[in-house]
Amino acid sequence: MVDLLAVCAHPDDFEISVGGIFAKAKAEGFKIGVIIFTKGESGGYAEQSTREREAVKGAALIGLDYFEMLDFPDAGVMFGEEAIEALVPHLRACSPKYIFTFLEDDYHPDHVAVSKITKAAAFIAGLKKHSSDDTDWHYDGILYFGGDHKRNKRWPDIYVDITDYIEIKREACDAHESQNVTEFAMALSKGYGRVAGVEYAEGLYLGESITIKSIKGLMR
Ligand SMILES: [Zn+2]
């Protein structure tokens, strides 16, 4: 059982996009998990085994309570029944309250597919009769991440201050040695931080409007 679950396409997506948020969530006592659809064999020049090892190291640094790498082909993740059905049992097994995944509007076709797969699987996993275990599971919401402003032309709806967790994020990004992503990830967090008025931040997007029960919900 986890509170927050990220569904990603490639081994380094998680640390770059929400590594700081998840490290912060862990420190605040929440349970966290990640599911990665591919083993990243098409990214850079690294062997699949290297990328797998790097992902395990990154996950350990963030302190994940649930971690699973699926075996879909890198640069070949397709939206469809096979992928949805591969994700549903994991969603039911770790029953997250909040699911994090890519914005659909993204440069990488695997990210686009994973976004669609996650939305469909979250819906289907909540259908009691679809499962064999006959238990109810409902998530509270899906939040999106994405770093490609050129494509999505949007700035995040929510910024999370990750300043106190930036070193954990840096180390977890460093774990993906073969991909050399740390500089990019730090610049992204710094840029979001500038907009958010803090040193480092990560950005999230809402998929739907939110409802507040009390005006206090509007207050800082
Ligand atoms: Zn990716």
**Ion ligand 1: residues, Cβ under 5 Å:** 9-10, 13
How much is the average pLDDT of 17-25? 98
Angle CA 184–16–71, to nearest 5: 125
* R_g of the chain computed on alpha carbons: 17
Q: What is the CATH number of domain 4-218?
A: 3.40.50.10320
The length of the chain is 220
Q: Which residue has the higher pLDDT, 98 or 150?
A: 98
Distance 214 CA to ligand 1 centre (A): 38
Distance from residue 196's CA to the centre of ligand 1 (Å): 25
Res. 33: pLDDT tops 90: yes
Query: What's the gap between Cα 62 and its chain centre?
Result: 13
Distance from residue 30's CA to the centre of ligand 1 (Å) = 25
For residue 130, the model assigns a pLDDT of: 74
Q: Give the model's pLDDT for residue 149.
A: 66
pLDDT tens readout for residues 107-158:
899 999 999 999 999 999 988 777 666 777 889 999 999 866 667 778 999 9
Token output for 184: 């990019």
pLDDT averaged over every residue in the chain: 92
Distance 38 CA to ligand 1 centre (A): 9
Residue 97 Cα to ligand 1 midpoint, Å, equals 23
**Ligand 1 geometric centre to CA of 37 (Å):** 10
- Higher per-residue pLDDT: 138 or 39: 39
- Ligand 1 midpoint to CA 202 (Å): 16
Q: CB-based contacts of 157: which residues, under 8 Å, 6+ apart?
A: 204, 205, 206
For the chain, the structural domain boundaries read 4-218
Q: Residue 211 Cα, ligand 1 centroid: separation in angstroms?
A: 32
